[in-house]
Amino acid sequence: SIESLLAGRHIVITAGPTREEIDPVRFISNHSSGKMGYALASASVALGAKVTLISGPVNLPCPAGVDLVNVVSAEQMHRAVMKAVGATQSDTAGDIMQPNCDIFIGCAAVADYKPQQKTEQKIKKSDTELTLTFTRNPDILSDVAHLAQPPFTVGFAAETQDVAHYAQDKLKRKKLDMIAANDVSQAGLGFNSEQNALNVYWNNGGKNLGVADKSQLAISLMTLVAQRHAVK
């Protein structure tokens, strides 16, 4: 039955945006609402899984039965994820790990860059131009997929063009088991909306889950994850 598809599985999910601080009063972030990740957490609980949801700042209630870990920055999210999947410092370098997670889903819109330095004092208005220098954040999804004993790893791809091409490229490059692509160029879908359209790809296969409410899509996607995880 559907309630036992993911029974006994530990699923770790990231959701929402991250915030990267510029100074004590400012940050850069993005429009992610966290709705898709939270819907995936609810769907996973409904399918019988034990869920750890690692979330950036959002305006959503914690889904029932979910273990919620709140974080702000990409670095904090990276640390919380590595702890939740059972990896230790040395594991990222490819050593022993205690696998503690069956399925990892990276649904968060993680900031790719952070300001090189957070200034201690508020930046003052002075010149007509202001230049900030950014450095790369760690890629959480890729780091999980490259662990010595990785969980079944699922990523998301928000693309505005050549969706299938970029998604499949990301699947291989980040060593993922599955990727869910949404075309964010379509009005009313994806970022900050109730509906989404997902095209799912895995090695030598794929499925179009069509346009639906995020809660419905979450059940469809988690059912697919359970099926692919079972045959892996």
With residue 53 as reference, give the H or E element that holds it. Answer: strand 50-55
CA 88/CA 70 separation, integer angstroms: 20
CB-based burial, 172-199: b 16+ in 10 Å, e otherwise: eebebbbbbbbbbeeeebbbebeebbbb
Does residue 155 bind ligand C5P (CB under 6 A)? yes
Stretch that binds ligand C5P, among 96-104, 114-122, 133-141, 214-222 (CB under 6 A): 133-141
Stretch that binds ligand C5P, among 46-54, 103-111, 184-192, 206-214 (CB under 6 A): 103-111
Site for ligand C5P in 167-186 (CB under 6 A): 170
Please give the structure tokens belonging to residue 102. 């069956």
Does residue 152 bind ligand C5P (CB under 6 A)? no
Q: Please, which residues bridge with residue 195 across strands?
A: 189, 213
Stretch that binds ligand C5P, among 45-53, 108-116, 118-126, 198-206 (CB under 6 A): 108-116
Residues in binding contact with ligand C5P, number by CB under 6 A: 15
Binding test (CB under 6 A) with ligand C5P, winner from 6, 103, 141, 181: 141
Nearest Cα residue to 17 out of 63, 64, 76, 67: 76
Catalytic residues: 30
Site residues, ligand C5P (CB under 6 A): 14, 74, 106-108, 110, 112, 137, 139-141, 155-157, 170
